[in-house]
Amino acid sequence: MLMNKPFSQACENNKGPILELLKAAFADSTRVLEIGSGTGQHAVYFAPRLPHLVWQTSDQVQYHEGICQWINEEPAANLRMPVTLKIGEQPLSAFEFDAVYSANTAHIMQPEEAKSMMQQISACLPAGGVFCQYGPFLHNGKFSSQSNEEFHHHLLSQGFGGYRDISELERWAPALQLKTMAPMPANNLLLIWQKAP
pLDDT digits (tens, 9 = 90+) for 32-55: 999 999 999 999 999 999 999 999
Q: Residue 1: what pLDDT? A: 56
Amino acid at 105: T
Rounded Cα distance between 80 and 95, Å, is 13
Quick one: what percent of the chain has pLDDT higher than 90?
97
Q: How would you class 50 by CB atoms within 10 Å of its CB: exposed for 0-12, middle for 13-18, buried for 19 or more?
A: buried
Which SS3 state, helix, strand or coil, does residue 137 take?
Answer: coil
State the greatest distance between any 2 C-alpha atoms of the chain, in Å, as a whole number. Answer: 49
> Taking phi first (over 0 means left), then psi (-120 to 50 degrees means alpha), and beta for anything else, what does residue 133 get?
beta
Q: How would you class 79 by CB atoms within 10 Å of its CB: exposed for 0-12, middle for 13-18, buried for 19 or more?
A: buried
**Domain range 9-195, CATH architecture:** 3-Layer(aba) Sandwich (3.40)
Mean pLDDT over residues 77-95, rounded? 97
Question: Does 197 score more than 90 pLDDT?
Answer: no
Rounded Cα distance between 8 and 22, Å, is 20
pLDDT digits (tens, 9 = 90+) for 125-138: 999 999 999 999 99
| Domain spans in the chain, listed from the N-terminal domain onward | 9-195
pTM for this model (two decimals): 0.97
Question: Does 3 score more than 80 pLDDT?
Answer: no
Question: Does 2 score more than 90 pLDDT?
Answer: no
Question: Does 119 score more than 90 pLDDT?
Answer: yes
User: φ and ψ at 138, to 5 degrees?
Assistant: -85, 145
Please list the residues that pair with 32 across neighbouring strands. 55, 99
Q: List alpha helices for 26-59, DSSP H.
A: 41-49
Q: Interhelix angle for 41-49 vs 64-73, to 10°?
A: 40
